[in-house]
Amino acid sequence: MEIELSERLGLSTKDAEERLKKYGYNKIKEDRKFKDIKLLINQFKSPYILLLFFTALLSAILGEKIDAFIIISIILLGGLLDFWQERGAYKTIEKLLSMVKTYVAVIRDGKEMEIPIEYVVPGDIVILRAGDMIPADGVILKVKDLFVNESLMTGEAYPVEKFEGSNLFMGTHVISGFGVMEVIKTGKDTEYGKIVDRLRLGKGRTDFERGLRRFGYTLLEIATILIIIVFAVNAYYNRGVINSLLFALSLGIGITPVLLPAVISVGLSYGARYMAHKGAIVKRLASIENFGSMNVLCCDKTGTLTEGKMKVFAFKNINDEDDEKTALFSCINSYFQTGYKNPIDEAIKESLKSVNISEFKKLDELPYDFNRKRLSVLVKKDMQNLLITKGAYSHVIEICSYAEIDGKVVNIKEVIQKIEKLYTYYSGQGFKLIAVAYKQVDKDKIDFKDENEEIFLGFVILHDPLKEDAKDLIDRLLSLGIELRIITGDNKFVAQHIAENLGLKGRVLSGDEINKFSEDALIKRVKDTFIFAELSPLQKDRIVLALRKAGYVIGYMGDGINDVAAMRSADVAISVENAVDVAKESADIVLLKSDLHTIIDSILEGRKTFLNTMKYLFMQVSSNFGNVFSMTGASFIVPFLPMLPKQVLTTNLLSDTAVMSIPSDNVDEDWIKSPKKWDIEFIKKFMIVFGLISSIFDFITFTSLLFIFKTSIELFRSAWFLESLLTQIFILLVLRTKKFFLNSNPSIFLLLNTLAISIIVFILPFTPPGKLLELKPLTIQLYIFIAIVIIFYILTVEIGKKLFYKKYDL
């Protein structure tokens, strides 16, 4: 269906620019300035920080103005540090996302052109074809067999047919057919924009995000209990109610990983930046961590395992002879179809450039869809109208009553065995076969009922060879603990041939067979089935859901409308730059090239990002839990506040500054050889084991300071400040690896950062800020004692680490 020139109205470029200024960009997104303000406020939303602010202000009112000022300054400095890191991460992601554009066909200045979707304005005339996103709210001006999936708006899975005058809504997408719409509303004014504004729609939380949330609540509960105990004990011993409360709240901030959101954001932005260099653009940050735990990758063979360049091998009739009529009719069908852009039609047109079809005039069309799996065009030559159909063999043969052989038309039953044999032979060789049929009609318009009693003509035989390194790549995926599932719409003979060449064992499960399985039976069957063929979009979705219910973490790679449902059900949705609009919009990650190399690099980066986040948690929950537990114990033994609130907060600030370099850290190769999953029980065990080791050395330190060195209050606090900080910093280098720490290379940034913080800790007591914090230089004996404590602490942790990883692992 084409638009007549007289109907090419649309807007002028000048009108469109003026409307863009008036209505704004066609996107549903918060303003950057508001986002910055919101991000800054988020750094101070912790209940402990708010309570600390309040208590510090109360302290100032009661006369402790300098201490209150120092405490508030430390909190603000820490919050600004977190904000700066997170803001940088968000800006990195926004820059990467700008590389992935969705384009829309519009009429501007009287001609069809493609523009980025955000530049669509009210009044634009938009051309819609299969696979296109509906870019805004509007009304249909012209239509031909247009079916739209509106599940995002209505929850209805089946496509809805649209007619002239029907409304279309932003966020829905075209399944099949052709249409012309006028845009009425854009951006936040659309119905979808209003829904997002009310509900803040988004993909569900990942296991990792849910695990972090649950773990955060656990730490919050522990911190609250310890705060109450510490405050009660210190208040009971008359150490000052305000100071006791400030001290307790400072410990509460210490045990809760306040920097976790910043560390995750920075870590994910590092991962996203690295993946962009490898050709993968991350649209949804959390999907990087899902990559880390993914153990099944579902993909079609075309373009991923094969060259992705469909070429015509031959046009064959029923006698397995090269046939000009089959070539001509298939070329006519491909040339005149306007629905779904696909490599098959491009390959047919490319191979028949010299064919003259100027004598044929198009009258009508029945566009391709994934239920019929065929498309028909009605053309006229001289006084004869021809309906020409091509598509998947099983879906074309079902509408054929006759066949053409040796120039004669015979009943299909006479030659069906010959057709089947030809189909099976070429499919078994790995070729893709497209069936071609036709019939004469005496009408100028057609509908789906006209696809019947057609004459089977022959096959278009296409070839898409396997990539040379396809088998090696699959073997590498397996070595990384990832199973490949081929999920294709191709026939089972082709799928079987590909699987055998790739060394994938097991029989092919077809769409018809899947329909016979109950949900429970399918869950059992998908565990040991690696090739699925002749699938509809809903069957692809069923397989993904069955795999997830079987306990796998699923990545799904798709580029067509038929993949969208499965992509939305997968843990990680992957698409490619040249995919249809709706596939790119549904994707978490968009590949700039369809290549397993890029996917493997992304998987490894996901694991690195996941493990670096775990390192932060390991270090924070073990050291901080140990320190807070020690402080709680010290409150019962030490006859004064073990540390001043401002000293505790400074410890938190400096240790947090050290761990901010974790996202850039290297990860040992043997640690990323298998999928990694969030395991809260593992982290709890880690926290208890290494937290207790930390506490033991803390108790050794403060009992020695009290009863052996008999230090003054100021020296006690200064010595414990030094020991507490240095153990947290050095233990970062130990707990960042499963190996002996000297056998694993940290990143340069991490090494320099920890070294710089260590130097600051040593020189701080000699500086004016140190005096404000009431820190004093230690004696030589105390420096030697603390050095010995740190050395024995590191050795003990190394022994504990070796024993721990023998018994437990992520």
Residues 434 and 575 in one domain: no
Residues 693 and 780 in one domain: yes
Residues 165 and 219 in one domain: no
Whether 649 maps to a domain, the answer reads: yes
Say how many residues make up the chain.
810
Query: 3-state DSSP call for residue 773?
Result: coil
**Cβ–Cβ under 8 Å, residues 303 and 559:** yes
**Cβ–Cβ under 8 Å, residues 183 and 123:** yes
**Cβ–Cβ under 8 Å, residues 204 and 393:** no
Residue 732: which of 604, 621, 610, 608 has the closest Cα? 621
pLDDT, one tens digit per residue, over 217-231 is 777 677 778 778 888
DSSP annotation string for 96-126? HHTTS--EEEEEETTEEEEEEGGG--TT-EE
Whether 55 maps to a domain, the answer reads: no
Strands 384-392 and 173-185: unpaired
The CATH number that applies at residue 483 is: 3.40.50.1000
**Cβ–Cβ under 8 Å, residues 646 and 263:** no
Residue 714: which of 774, 761, 764, 648 has the closest Cα? 774
Last residue of a domain, one of 177, 199, 221: 199
Residues 223 and 120 in one domain: no
**Cβ–Cβ under 8 Å, residues 495 and 488:** yes
Task: List, in order, residues 6 or more apart from 456 with CB less than 8 Å away.
Answer: 318, 396, 397, 400, 402, 403, 404, 412, 419, 435, 436, 437
Whether 747 maps to a domain, the answer reads: yes
Q: Phi first, then psi: what are they for 44, rounded to 5°?
A: -120, 25
Strands 454-463 and 400-405: parallel
Range of the domain at 539: 280-307+467-592
Last residue of a domain, one of 592, 614, 648: 592
Output the CA torsion sign for 466, 467, 469, 470: negative
Residues 528 and 383 in one domain: no
The CATH number that applies at residue 194 is: 2.70.150.10
Whether 337 maps to a domain, the answer reads: yes
**Cβ–Cβ under 8 Å, residues 727 and 655:** no
Q: What is the mean pLDDT of each run of 10 residues along the chain (810 residues)?
A: 52 92 81 66 68 68 70 75 68 64 87 90 91 90 83 64 89 83 91 65 59 69 78 83 76 62 69 79 78 87 74 95 95 85 85 88 85 90 94 95 95 96 92 95 91 96 85 88 88 84 83 91 92 88 94 88 84 83 81 78 83 79 76 84 83 81 88 83 86 90 93 94 90 91 92 93 94 93 95 95 88
Residues 420 and 533 in one domain: no
Residues 518 and 532 in one domain: yes
Whether 783 maps to a domain, the answer reads: yes
Whether 96 maps to a domain, the answer reads: no
- The H or E element that residue 282 is part of is strand 280-282
Residues 653 and 730 in one domain: yes
Residues 126 and 26 in one domain: yes
Last residue of a domain, one of 422, 445, 462: 462
Strands 137-149 and 167-168: antiparallel
CA distance 68 to 648: 14
Whether 128 maps to a domain, the answer reads: yes
CA distance 17 to 760: 55
Whether 560 maps to a domain, the answer reads: yes
The CATH number that applies at residue 628 is: 1.20.1110.10
Residues 343 and 477 in one domain: no
Looking at 355-469, which runs of residues are DSSP E strands? 361-366, 374-381, 384-392, 400-405, 408-411, 432-441, 454-463
Active-site residue flag, 300: yes
Q: Which amino acid is at 433?
A: L
Alpha helices (H) along 353-399: 393-397
Q: How many domains does the chain have?
A: 4
pLDDT at 199: 46
Residues 631 and 776 in one domain: yes
Annotated catalytic residue: which of 82, 300, 541, 588?
A: 300
The CATH number that applies at residue 342 is: 3.40.1110.10
The owner of tokens 């849910």 is 210
- The H or E element that residue 659 is part of is helix 645-659
CA distance 266 to 427: 49
Residues 689 and 802 in one domain: yes
pLDDT, one tens digit per residue, over 338-387 is 766 678 888 999 898 888 898 999 999 888 877 788 999 999 998 899 99
**Cβ–Cβ under 8 Å, residues 114 and 126:** no
Which string of b and e fits 684-717 if b means at least 16 CB within 10 Å? eebbebbbebbbebbbebbebbeeebebeeebbb
